[in-house]
Chains A and B, each alone.
Chain A
Amino acid sequence: MSTRTSGRFEDDVVISGLGQSAVGRRLGRSPLSLTLDAVVEAIADAGLSFGDIDGVVAYPGGGTSLGPGFAGPPIAEVYDALGIEPAFLLGAFEGPAQLGPIVNGGLAISGGLARHIVVYRTVTEGSARRAIRDGASTDPVPPPEWFTAHGGGPAAIGFALLARRHFHEFGTTREQLAQIALTARAHARLNPKAVLRDPMSLEDYLGSRMISDPLCLFDCDVHCDGSTAIVLSHARFAPDARDRVVHLDAVGTAPPVRSPLTQHLGLAPGQRAADSLWRRTDFTPKDVDVAGVYDGFSILTLLWLEALGFCGAGESGDFVAGGTRITLGGELPINTNGGQLSGGRLHGLGFVHEMCLQLRDRAADRQVPGARVAVVAVGASPYVGCLLLRAGEG
């Protein structure tokens, strides 16, 4: 039996509505406009009206941009535009990564602060980064790193160092790592909204441009424009379409404890989050039918598969080898929408949207038959989080 914490707020919370704007490399639309498309669709999908919504929660919240096109619109602009009168709002960057709004929104609902909360995540990084590449702007310079001789550099460097260490300690190979990108692309071909849909072979992967060895172009997610929204509802006040609601089964929120002696070599950033998730549920990794596993860089997907217990520490290379296990039809299909590597960097909430579609049997050509339990895991040290979702009783 599990050692469930008493007073699980998750039991009070369902995901009642889903919405998503158009998704593309460069849509040329404002963050607010994309967000409203997603939010309006999610509210309608939940069978609610604007007036029913009494909370808005988002990551990272306005004014906290880490780079061009990262933050999306401020929450206040969104509820102004909807003309709603929220009882609760929160935008937060630090926390369980892009799943923070679901944890915080769920707690607010369970605690009686709100009944129906809309959560959104909006990016316009495709447009913004393109403007930089065109020479329209200088690249944003990261804060000076006093102790680095080579500058802060692109984010890929830090994750490449992590990948190299995984290769060194566990014998992981590029051919194994490639399966994350190849699986994502194979699944993206079934998703009309995915931004990269051309076929990709192992030879294409191995021959692609190296970014920061061993991470090549296809190991890095692709910036895009798009917005994803969900509605969280109190289970008691949820719309009556029982087959359409998705239950929040458990959340995993514990961040990694980082040792000053290992620093960059922490190869299990999601371990404590995953452990905290499994302590809150009766399900086990064996019960999971489909997974959305963060792939901002492909190495993170491997590390999450280990942290979540689908395989042992250091065994993820073998686990994904050949790709059949993690592709549709396999025992644990992952990132069925193409992930962020091919689907587009919708940044966390895209995985939640896709897993909810799977649990509602609405994932069309990429449906995992009979999917009842899904896991979502998002982020990199120190901001990580995971969710377990289960299908409604319909």
Chain B
Amino acid sequence: MSPGLSAPHVMAFAYRRGVGGAESRFLSGLRAGVIRGTRAADGRVLVPPLDHDPATGAPLGDWVTVADLGVVRSWTWVTEPGRGQPLDRPFAFALVRLDGADTALLHVVDVPDEGSMATGMRVRADWRLERVGSITDIRAFVPAGSGDAATIPPAHHDDAGALEVHSAHEVAYRYEPGVVASRFFESLRRRRILGGRCEPCGHTYVPPRPRCPVCATGPMTEVPVPDRGQVSTYTVVHVPSPEGPVDLPYVAAWIRLDGVDVAFPHLLGEVAPEAAAVGQHVEAVWVPDDELAPSWESIRYFRPSDRPDPGTTRQP
């Protein structure tokens, strides 16, 4: 853990997608409580099914219903299930060849312990009562009794039509900006902007950096910089952004503070979109005291300023 700020972050990526022909029909079968495969040109029954013949590439359309009973061809034991895995207790991932199929399906076997698993064991599907057209409509496979017969539950749903699958991926992590950026953010809480000046080459950066990106000298000298500058380019945004301001349109701009050599992105406020201009002098508008935080958002936006400082103004 480095000294300085630290914040939890979650990166989420959720979407649904339409699935293709064979996958769609397979999943809609699961929703109806049946497992179906396609017959390849050489007569083998493929479960899960493929759109095209693995040998010839020809389209496949001969559908076969197979049993929900089968044999474990191979397996691996999961001792400590992770978040998002099918079961919250130890289980086996297994390749199950269903009776009537010639290929194996990857699924889960739910048994109390690793000693209960064996290659060659017979298993049956444990169907969920509420099924949605997902591979998890089979909760897990469980050991089959000698008297178990294949069950084909009555179809509750129309199995026509393309299906969609839902994906919700998420990565949680902790972000630590480091010492230099932490001091920069902490200063924003006090309505001060800190820059970093490279003494050998004379460039000043906002935000400050540990080392000069031009000559690699570091550490740089911490210098306070004014909260006034100029617009180096801008755009009036008419489409919503997931994290952006609520009101459209808004003006996003790159702003170079007086005496600083690089620009940074922020917002322009108190300006009609048609009045925004490259080269415009602007000043920071800070949030009220009780909203100040170690964040760029302590500056609500920049607004046009009629107080350019001639001593420090350069070509934007």
Is A149's CB under 8 angstroms from B265's CB? yes
Binding site for A on B (CB under 8 A): 9, 11-21, 23, 50-52, 54-57, 162, 164, 166, 175, 177, 181, 203, 205, 207, 213-214, 232-239, 241-245, 249-250, 252-254, 261-267, 273, 278-279, 296-297, 299, 301
Judge if A138 is at the interface, Cβ distance under 8 Å: yes
CB neighbours (8 Å) of A30 from chain B are 19-21, 23, 51
Is A154 within 8 A of B239, CB to CB?
Answer: yes
Write 15 A-B pairs (CB below 8 A) sorted by A numbering: A28-B162, A30-B19, A32-B20, A50-B57, A147-B265, A150-B245, A152-B242, A156-B237, A157-B252, A161-B233, A161-B254, A209-B238, A213-B238, A261-B203, A264-B263
- In the A-B complex, the 6 residue pairs with the smallest Cβ-Cβ separation, listed nearest first, are A151-B243, A30-B20, A213-B236, A160-B235, A260-B213, A153-B241
Fill in one digit per residue for A125-144: 1 if any B CB lies within 8 Å of its CB, else 0. Answer: 00110011000111111111
Q: Size class of A's contact patch?
A: 35 or more
Contacts of B261 in A (CB 8 A): 261
Q: Which residues of B contact A263 (CB under 8 A)?
A: 254, 262-263
Give the chain A neighbours of B56 by CB distance below 8 A.
Answer: 83
Complex CA distance for A140 and B263, rounded to whole angstroms: 27
- A133 to B214 Cα, complex, angstroms: 43
Residues A212 and B236 in contact, CB atoms below 8 Å apart: yes
Is A148 at the interface (CB under 8 A from chain B)?
A: yes
Apart from A142-B242, A213-B236, 18 more pairs, CB < 8 Å: A30-B23, A131-B164, A136-B164, A137-B15, A146-B177, A148-B265, A149-B301, A157-B235, A157-B252, A161-B234, A161-B235, A165-B232, A212-B235, A212-B238, A260-B213, A264-B254, A265-B233, A265-B263
Known: A147-B296, A263-B262. A140 touches B15 (CB 8 A): yes
CB nearest neighbor in A for B59: A33
A29 at the interface (CB under 8 A from B): yes
Which residue of A132, A156, A168, A215 contacts B278 across the interface (Cβ within 8 Å)? Answer: A168
Tell me which of A83, A131, A210, A215 contacts B17 (CB under 8 A). Answer: A131
A82 at interface, CB cutoff 8 A: yes
A144 to B18, CA, bound (A): 28
A153 to B177: give the CA distance in the assembly, Å.
21
Q: Is the CB of A144 within 8 A of B236?
A: no
A81 within 8 A of B: yes
Asked, given contacts A81-B54, A168-B233, A264-B233, whether A147 binds B243 with beta carbons under 8 Å apart, the answer is no
A68, B241: Cβ atoms closer than 8 Å: no
Task: Give B212 Cβ to nearest chain A Cβ, in Å.
Answer: 8
Q: Which among B55, B203, B234 has the greatest number of chain A C-beta atoms within 10 A?
A: B234
What does the 1/0 interface line of A186-217 toward B look like (CB < 8 Å)? 00000000000000000000000111111100
CA of A136 to CA of B12, assembled, Å: 15
Q: Which residue of B lies closest to A84 (CB)?
A: B57
Asked if A81 meets B267 with Cβ closer than 8 Å, knowing A131-B18, A141-B243, A260-B213, the reply is no
From the candidates B9, B55, B181, name the one contacting A83 in the complex (CB within 8 A).
B55
Q: Which residue of A40, A211, A260 contacts B57 across the interface (Cβ within 8 Å)?
A: A40
- A54-90 residues with Cβ-Cβ distance < 8 A to B are 68-69, 80-83
Which of the residues B12, B51, B252 comes within 8 Å of A153, measured between beta carbons? B252
Residues of A within 8 A of B (CB): 28-30, 32-33, 36, 40, 50, 68-69, 80-83, 124, 127-128, 131-132, 136-144, 146-154, 156-157, 160-165, 168, 209-215, 259-261, 263-265
Q: How far is the CB of B160 from chain A (nearest CB, A)?
A: 14
Nearest A residue to B245 by beta-carbon distance? A150
